[in-house]
Amino acid sequence: MDLNCDLGESFGNYRLGNDEALLSIVTSANIACGLHAGDPLVMGRTVRWAVSKGVAIGAHPGYPDLQGFGRREMNMSAEEVEAFVLYQIGALAGFVRAEGGELVHVKPHGALYNQAAKDRALARAIVQAVKRFSPHLIVVGLAGSVLVEEAREAGLPAAAEGFPDRAYNPDGTLKSRREPGAVLQTVEAVCQQAIRLATQGAGEGTQRVPVDTLCIHGDGAHAVEFATAVRESLLTAGVALRSLSPESLRL
């Protein structure tokens, strides 16, 4: 099982999360590319840390919405989405190459990620951008989403993602944040959810969806504590941790 985290989201005088500490815990990093968060100095520094710690690096493109942190839906054409995603992949790849590393995956951020989980045209635009850059990059999307389906149909490797700190519906979809209990608050609940996702997948019964990677949110006040506990719980449960790679994915 891969353990990933969204990182590099500070910019200018704005500081968010403890990236260096989290990079000693996770196995993959999704690094912001400067449009929803991050800036060139933060991108370079975060990539440098990831390379030094042997953490797999992925581009984390979002909508051009710095003020809204990429969490507001935007009405963009498929052509615009493809261009903006390609632009961001290329920006991060430049830093990765400069540090002697290798870009492994692409995971959309925020509203772009959530919309692409259901909107097939949007998902195709993202997949097309990734494929144009490199057909070997892994597309990371919500387990059971159309983004994962579109990536696989296009011949790209895809990783199905689960969230240890979120409650799920029986069909494997995430419970709406508007519902009580949608976000798990305790270390114990998050660790139990992580083990369940890693060993059983998301959802219940015949609707269960396998999961390849677990996301730890890096911007929470207790991110390092939660990430450490999840890592230790998975290892104790006999779940081996490894970075994302095409060879590691369940096809």
Share of the chain above pLDDT 90, in %: 79
Q: What pLDDT is recorded for position 57?
A: 98
Measured CA to CA, the distance from residue 180 to residue 167 in angstroms comes to 10
Contact status, residue 115 vs residue 67, Cβ threshold 8 Å: no
In the predicted model, is pLDDT for residue 16 greater than 90? no
pLDDT at 195: 96
pLDDT of residue 5: 96
pLDDT of residue 15: 86
What type of residue is 21? Answer: A
Q: What angle do CA 59, 64, 70 make, to 5 degrees?
A: 75
Mean pLDDT of 127-136: 98
Token representation of residue 190: 């998050």
Domain containing 225 — which CATH number?
Answer: 3.20.20.370
As a whole number of angstroms, the distance between CA 1 and CA 243 comes to 8
143-188 pLDDT, tens per residue?
999 999 999 999 999 999 999 998 888 888 888 878 888 888 899 9
Whether the Cβ atoms of residue 203 and residue 172 lie closer than 8 Å to each other: yes
75 contact partners, CB below 8 Å, separation of at least 6: none
Q: pLDDT tens digits for 80-111?
A: 999 999 999 999 999 999 999 999 999 999 99
Q: What is the pLDDT of residue 250?
A: 58
To the nearest 5 percent, what fractions of the chain are helix, strand and coil? Answer: 40, 15, 45
166 bridge partner residues: 183
DSSP for 3-64, written as a single string: EEEEE---BTTB--S-HHHHTTT-SEEEEE-SSSS--HHHHHHHHHHHHHHT-EEEEE---S
pLDDT at 179 (0 to 100): 87
CA-closest candidate to residue 141, choices 85, 84, 78: 85
DSSP state of 151: H
Which phi and psi angles does 37 have, rounded to 5°?
-170, 170
Predicted confidence at residue 198, as pLDDT, reads 96
Domain residue limits at 55: 2-248
Read off the pLDDT of residues 198-217 as tens digits, 9 standing for 90 and up: 999 988 776 788 999 999 88
222 or 163, which is more confident?
163
Domain count for the chain: 1
Q: d(Cα 10, Cα 230) in Å, to the nearest integer?
A: 24
Q: What is the pLDDT of residues 52-85, one digit of tens each?
A: 999 999 999 999 999 999 999 999 999 999 999 9
pLDDT of residue 228: 96
Question: Would you state the pLDDT for residue 14?
Answer: 86
The counts of H helices and E strands in the chain are: 8, 7
Nearest CA-CA partner of 202 in 233, 230, 162, 164: 162
For the record, the structure tokens of 185 come out as: 């608050």
